[in-house]
Amino acid sequence: MKLDKNFFSENIKTLFYALIIAVIIRSFLVQPFYIPSSSMEPTLLVGDRLFVTKYSYGYSRHSFPFSPPVLKKRIMFSSPKRGDVIVFKTPADNRTDYIKRLIGIPGDRIQFKDGNLYLNNNEILKSKIINKTKIYCGNRTIDVHKFEENLDNGKKFHTVYLKDYTYQNSDVFKVPEDHYFFLGDNRDCSKDSRFLTSVGYVHKDNLVGKAQFIFFSSDKKIGNMFAFWKWHKSIRFNRTLNRIN
């Protein structure tokens, strides 16, 4: 069989156009992310794969692969809301992706008192759902209490705390202009804005996008994707297409 002399050049063009389309979709519309840690349990589990919308808060250089210096500041900006689950680049290196829940917006004052979270001198109300349950913290399991927290804008979500509230008291965190304060839902097992040297306050230009829904989830502790005979146990079918609250 004789191949057309343009066969290879046409296929290279097709691959090139497909790559361009993929970059455009990833930069301007949606990007998939994988959850590697337990800092957002019970909302997000290790092994969750989710879609993040890139257009939710406008665009910055971090909207593009490898964060090229194509934009000096965020354009088409739309302010995020308290309670949003957001992917952002850590201020420490402007390269690592973190996903946390937005708690403080510019001008807010945040403080922990006796293990309770206060926003602008008002305690964020939480009601206990489960008195004692187990949850992951890295490779170990910990005993926690599960709560439903309620922000002042009506946003409700689930969080977990160790029984003895290891993060008891803090100084007041004053969120600077154009910055945001994030917490993990797994409150005693999360590196977030409470740790100023590693994460701290996140500038609006570092926002990548809003987490919207889980499109696939699997438990790698049971088996990897090649162990098809374990799929009925490792794949979390009940989490497929779940919206992220």
Dump pLDDT digits (tens) for 201-230: 999 999 999 999 999 999 988 877 667 777
Question: Of 37, 39, 193, 234, which is the active-site residue?
Answer: 39
Question: One of 54, 89, 100, 210 is an active-site residue; which one?
Answer: 100
Residue 1 domain flag: no
d(CA 245, CA 127): 17
Query: Is 39 an active-site residue?
Result: yes
The verdict on residue 245 lying in a domain is no
Task: Assign residue 190 the CATH number of its domain.
Answer: 2.10.109.10
Residue 117 reports pLDDT greater than 50: yes
2: in domain: no
The model's confidence at residue 1, banded by pLDDT at 50, 70 and 90, is: very low
pLDDT mean over 134-157? 92
Report, as an integer, the average pLDDT of 10-22. 83
Provide the domain count of the chain: 1
Residue 55 lies in a domain: yes
Answer whether residue 9 shows pLDDT above 80: no
pLDDT of 199 strictly over 90:
yes
Q: Which residues span the domain enclosing 105?
A: 7-239
Classify residue 244: in a domain, yes or no: no
| Domain contains 28 | yes
Active site residue 100: yes
